Amino acid sequence: MNIIDLRSDTVSKPTPAMRRAMADAEVGDDVYSDDPSVNRLEAMAAERLGREAAVFVASGTMANLVSVMTHTRPGDEILLGNESHILNYEGGGAARIAGVQTMPLPNNWDDGSLDPAEVAAAVRTPTLNIPRTTLLCLENTHNRCGGRAMPANLMRELIDTGHAHNLRVHVDGARIFNAEAALGTPAAEITRGADSVTFCLSKGLGCPVGSVICGSLEFIALARANRRVLGGGMRQAGVLAAAGIYALDHNVDRLADDHVNAARLAEGLGSFEVFSPESPQTNILAVGLRAGTSASWGKALREAGVLCTAFGPKRLRFVTHVNITADDIEEALRRIERVVEAGGA
């Protein structure tokens, strides 16, 4: 039985065409800025995000950490969502390595946004006892809010609010091109005005490794130095960058297919009384459970050859990606139906 892996878009594997591009890549020493493929990827990324420059890093977690380090100094405070990836899934790196204090604010579950008034109220004036608030971190699309895409007007309001209070603004855009596909708005426009933006190559874009940080020339020069401090200076990284080049050329437009597949999965799961699927906007589908637990359902579905992840004690997450076809979705629904008919979890 083949496994239908819907745990995350991070499990996606390079297509044969992407592998050929990697095999044929021109390479050099990236630390010396001598790798032509890395240089080309960074230039393409900066152009697509409407920024002056970009730097290629190993992962989304590294991209966010480097960005936080570059925008702040130890002892500062940063504002971010209580459901954000930086707060929940990055090992506390902002505190452990960047040395900053995190102040979480409630995320709006409908679109992953924050309340601008709450952002403004959370900015503190530093004193002997109070840290300096210097950075606002946003996320788009928003993972824990079910892959919701924050519209450009809300992004702009939050970015403007941050700047009005002398904050720099960082956007964790791990899946920003999913937001672009869902909203019909270019990623550069969605994130316009933000001081830095990251995006992942290894999620919906289907690459094996890597993320990119985009920003001003000055910011990226400092970010490159912080990447080096974290051990992220890569050598013949063009083999990996070639996958990113291929993805930007070929895999952005196809993200809409993943959204269609997620919507079909939600429709199918909604026919079973035990499941309460949210309405997916992108490739992430969050599903509430009316009976059983995420652990018990995860185990039962795994035994049926369908993989998903726990998104809380009574919530599952399914994520579509480049290796999941419409036929895979139909087969997954057939397998899930058999599990339900057998008594479920």
CATH 3.90.1150.10, applies to 254-341: yes
CATH 3.40.640.10 positions along the chain are 15-250
Query: Given 3.40.120.10, 3.40.50.1220, 3.40.640.10, 3.30.160.110, which CATH number is that of 15-250?
Result: 3.40.640.10
Q: Which two tokens stand for residue 160?
A: 């403007």
Q: Please report which helix (H) or strand (E) contains residue 147, including its range.
A: none
The pTM score is 0.96
CATH 3.90.1150.10 positions along the chain are 254-341
Residue pLDDT tens, the chain, 345 long: 899 999 999 999 999 999 999 999 999 999 999 999 999 999 999 999 999 999 999 999 999 999 999 999 999 999 999 999 999 999 999 999 999 999 999 999 999 999 999 999 999 999 999 999 999 999 999 999 999 999 999 999 999 999 999 999 999 999 999 999 999 999 999 999 999 999 999 999 999 999 999 999 999 999 999 999 999 999 999 999 999 999 999 999 999 999 999 999 999 999 999 999 999 999 999 999 999 999 999 999 999 999 999 999 999 999 999 999 999 999 999 999 999 998 877
Question: What are residue 148's phi and psi, to 5 degrees?
Answer: -70, 145
Q: Which of 80, 76, 166 is nearest to 126 (CA)?
A: 76
Distance from C-alpha of 264 to C-alpha of 71, rounded to nearest angstrom: 41
Q: Which of 47, 46, 88 is nearest to 64 (CA)?
A: 88
Whose structure tokens read 């008034």?
A: 117
All residues at 6 or more sequence positions from 302 whose CB lies less than 8 Å from its CB, including other chains: none
Q: Which amino acid is at 28?
A: G
User: 57 forms bridges with which residues in the sheet?
Assistant: 211
Beta-carbon neighbour count of residue 144 at 10 Å? 24
